[in-house]
Amino acid sequence: MAVKRKPHTEAFKAQVALAAVKGDRTVNEVASHFGVHPALIRGWKKQLLAGAEAAFAGRGGDRPGGGQDPRTLPAGRPHGLQALDDGVQRPQPLLQV
């Protein structure tokens, strides 16, 4: 009788891979804790480490401000505050000068 493969969710794979990367337990200990084969954990761990670089890609590196040069940003509101111009009526000040 053939055994069906158990589908693992991405969240479960990430949780197991993070536990393996953490390093406080061996891969075999993590495998017995989560009930999966150590070879699966090694593969998930490699995928996690390979994808970690992509998580930070396009963020501008070490430059402050997200890597964008403030001289090249559009004029008007500072970067990130464009969402405040959403068309909502703001209360007018009580005193007119």
pLDDT of residue 81: 52
Question: What does pLDDT average to over the chain?
Answer: 78
The answer to whether residue 24 is domain-embedded is: yes
- For residue 73, give Cα distances in angstroms to 5, 68, 76: 52, 8, 9
Pick the more confident residue, 86 or 4.
4
Pick the more confident residue, 36 or 76.
36
What's the predicted TM-score (pTM) here? 0.55
pLDDT of residue 71: 62
Range of the domain at 27: 8-53
Predicted confidence (pLDDT) at residue 93 exceeds the cutoff of 60: yes
The answer to whether residue 91 is domain-embedded is: no
Number of domains comprising the chain:
1
The answer to whether residue 79 is domain-embedded is: no
Predicted confidence (pLDDT) at residue 34 exceeds the cutoff of 60: yes
- Strand spans (E) along 1-97: none
